[in-house]
Structure 1
Amino acid sequence: MTSDLTLTVQETGRGTLHKLTGDQVAALVAVPDLVRLSPTPSGLWTVRGNQRVGTVRLRTRSGDAIHLHLRPKLGIRDLLFLLSYSSTDPWRPEPVTAATTDDLLPAVADLLARTARRTLEAGVLHGYREVEEDLPLIRGSIRATAQLRRTGLPLPISVRYDDHTPDIPENRILLAALNLAAYLPGVPQPTRLALRHLADRLHGVRRPYPGEPLPAWTPTRLNARYSQALRLAELLLTGRSIQQDGGAPVVADGFLLDLPRVFERFLTMTLSAAGACHGIRCAPQDTHPLDKAGRTSIRPDLVLYRQGRPVSVVDAKYTSLEGKASREHLYQLLAYCTALGITHGHLVYAATTPGTAPIDHVIRRSSVTITAHALNLHEPPAGLLAQIDALAVRTATAPEE
């Protein structure tokens, strides 16, 4: 008799109490940073979120399943807008349906099904692929070297030709995502059936093997109608990554997002676009030496340049701004500004309430000012992008040394 366990955990908060077996605890801690566990004197366990959201299915050593639902503090519509900037080619998400507004994975799966259906309505994209094989007739060109090795054996003939086929990277990525979404837990049955039907339309496309790297594709005029579906597919396929940390392997599958990285990526993409209007170039994850000998380096989220010179530095913090920036964050930005030789740095926090004005922290006995900003992520897309524009103006007008 199996004893499957279903846990629903909020991304942030005090957590919930659960009675867990030793095998269940081992399965949860085997995936790094998935949740935070702490025992209580009563023998129960407090399960708290760890800034990750999604749906994960784990297997314990005894074969039982743990269905873990990690719920975001943001609304699904707001989170999908942040996710739309997860690639270099942002896409505008469609409205989610009423049936998928409470959970991330059903919303993404439903969005993938609707986008893929619209993409494939115009037909399956074909492309040319070079094929080398042995045939009983000549097709394309003869591979002379390979044929000469066949001394005394005229047939089959070693040939090379271009095949017009649907088995191209774009369709392989889409097929892998459709099959994955149809298999993952928590996807409603109607959406699951729609995903399988769409996968059947990609007849003749090879499904990538588990663990195989995603094939590379390049946006062109020919595959433009596939663009949004492929961005969603890549989001789903890369968001399923779950790594175990030593010990016995744990069977796990699901869709998992690291929200600090999502927020950082959104800030990078939007601030880069807004800063360009003010002659600012934003360089993400630039590495600079901290000490003169170069023994230690710094790697800010964003360094802002004007005419090749750094003018400001920005760091994204996926946490609330509780009246003032934390001491550790101020130390971090002070080190960045000192090493870069600039006088202004910016901390950008993820807020969920309106009305928090930027707070300037003027550092004593220093020329450095660190400004803490709070982006209200509950704003509609236009309002959120307006906040980014205001942030771009503030960072672009920072005084230069």
Structure 2
Amino acid sequence: MTVPDVVLREYGPTLSVPLGAEAGRALASAGILQSATPDPVRDGHWLLRAGSRVGAVRVPGGPVVRIMPKTPVSRLFFLLGFSLDPARAWRDSKEGRVDTGAYDDVVPALAHAVERQIDAALRRGVLQGYREVEETALVLRGRLREAEQIRRHFGRTPPVEIGYDAYTADTDENRILRSAVEQLLRLPGVPGPVRRRLAHQCVRLADALPLIPGQELPRWRPSRLNSLYQPALRLTAAILRGTSPEHRPDAVESLALDGFLIDMNKLFEDFVTVALREALREHGLTARLQDPHHLDAAGLVGMRPDLVVRTGDGCTPVAVVDAKYKVEKADGLLNADLYQALAYATVLGLREAHLVYAAGRQPERCHEVRGTAGGRDGRGVRLYQHSLDLTREPEGILSGLRELAGKLAATAAHP
């Protein structure tokens, strides 16, 4: 009997769903939901509530759990595409968009996007390159591996231990693409037409060996020869690596439950910090992501602001920014966030700190902290709350961040 999918919404209401004890425990231990507990009222049911992770996973012995994002899927992949390749997207926000087709679910959109990127990469044929090959052969080819010949065959010939450079499609770039295609084919919820196109791409990449699971991804280098491959490589490597596009772990998670999830908290943080870093460069400023500091003099309490703006030489901090994938409360106040921002400003010796939220009732709020006056203008430390509307078109989102970058640059010019 086919088990129906369980559909949850990001930070949506708790649902009571029929689920076996083993499947429920597997889902609870994976930590992909905000909560997963047995239903005390209904036997054989579990109470499930989604948090910030969106996507789909197949529970062993249970259903496919699909978590729908609040943000439109096309916008979600714009954030992802920008974080992976900011230089390309910053020039024109339209180029930063990832083609997700007409799909409004994360996994189908992801599979479609990757397949389209790979198809574009292979437009001029499969990339070939030279790879060093070491093998045992009956005839001499290339160069003799004398040490191995003596160690393995005591100097007798044949066979001979040889090494040579082969011109082949078994390159690091093709290995990454093939492994990503194979992983997507294992995901639940990939539509039939997309699955067939992915299988076709897998055949085109058949001469490339698949990657060994668990090993570090090959380090490919951008070049003129692989320029068509680069958009596909950035997207597929993020999937295979199981890390965020820029600097934080767990933004894109490939789980043992056989599925694909994106952590919206980390994705939003990556997008805001990378986009601001690019915008600040236009003002001659530098930015450090996850800049390590300590709250106390003894260096026991660590802290990592999402982004610290510094002068062009990178020496002097002039502003601090923290991204929060939250919607402000009815009174507009998120006290813990304000306390955190004040701590950042205090440690860095700044007169203001900035919080960037995914949504809010006002574009900007300012709070002047009591008891902190002492600057030349007599003002106290100011904490700013900015709202970034993710439902806007990409150009509108980037425009909001450009405006914030301009304000940070003005602060740097007139501290």
TM-score normalised by the chain length of structure 1: 0.90
* AA aligned opposite 2:327: S
Distance 1:153 1:45, change over 3 A: closer
SS in 2 for 1:133: strand
SS in 1 for 2:83: coil
Show the counterpart of 1:135: 137
- 8 Å CA contact retained: 1:5, 1:65: no
Residue 161 of structure 2 is aligned to residue 162 of structure 1? no
* AA aligned opposite 1:382: E
1:298-313 to 2 correspondences below 5 Å: 298-306=303-311, 307=313, 308-313=315-320
Distance 1:203 1:28, change over 3 A: closer
Distance 1:66 1:147, change over 3 A: same
In structure 1, C-alpha distance between the alignment counterparts of 2:155 and 2:392, rounded to whole Å: 75
In structure 2, C-alpha distance between the alignment counterparts of 1:200 and 1:35, rounded to whole Å: 40
Show the counterpart of 1:247: none
Distance 1:297 1:151, change over 3 A: closer
SS in 2 for 1:85: helix
In structure 2, C-alpha distance between the alignment counterparts of 1:152 and 1:334, rounded to whole Å: 72
- 8 Å CA contact retained: 2:318, 2:350: yes
- 8 Å CA contact retained: 1:86, 1:266: yes
Residue 213 of structure 1 deviates from its aligned partner by 2.6
Selected match of 1:382 from 392, 395, 399: 395
Give CA deviations for 1:53-107 in whole Å, capped at 9, x if unaligned: 0010011xxxx22210010001111111011123255562344323x1x201101
Distance 1:177 1:119, change over 3 A: same
Distance 1:310 1:51, change over 3 A: same
Residue 15 of structure 2 is aligned to residue 16 of structure 1? yes
Residue 212 of structure 1 deviates from its aligned partner by 2.9
Show the counterpart of 2:208: 205
- 8 Å CA contact retained: 1:54, 1:255: yes
Residue 111 of structure 1 deviates from its aligned partner by 1.4
Residue 96 of structure 2 is aligned to residue 96 of structure 1? no
Long gaps (5+) in structure 2: 90-95, 243-251, 373-379
Show the counterpart of 1:359: 365
Selected match of 2:340 from 323, 329, 332: 332
Distance 1:5 1:31, change over 3 A: farther
Show the counterpart of 1:276: 281
Show the counterpart of 1:262: 267
Give CA deviations for 1:257-279 in whole Å, capped at 9, x if unaligned: 11111001101111001011112
Distance 1:152 1:45, change over 3 A: closer
Show the counterpart of 1:146: 148
Show the counterpart of 1:81: 78
Give CA deviations for 1:210-245 in whole Å, capped at 9, x if unaligned: 333322211111111001111221233223422xxx
In structure 2, C-alpha distance between the alignment counterparts of 1:188 and 1:297, rounded to whole Å: 46
Q: How many residues align?
A: 384
Residue 297 of structure 2 is aligned to residue 292 of structure 1? yes
Distance 1:137 1:37, change over 3 A: closer
Residue 203 of structure 2 is aligned to residue 192 of structure 1? no
CA RMSD of aligned residues (A): 2.1
Residue 137 of structure 1 deviates from its aligned partner by 2.3
Residue 38 of structure 1 deviates from its aligned partner by 5.2
Identity across aligned pairs (percent)?
A: 38
Residue 45 of structure 1 deviates from its aligned partner by 4.3
Show the counterpart of 1:344: 352
Selected match of 1:373 from 373, 377, 386: 386
Give CA deviations for 1:331-351 in whole Å, capped at 9, x if unaligned: 101111111111110000001
Residue 188 of structure 1 deviates from its aligned partner by 0.7
Show the counterpart of 1:246: none
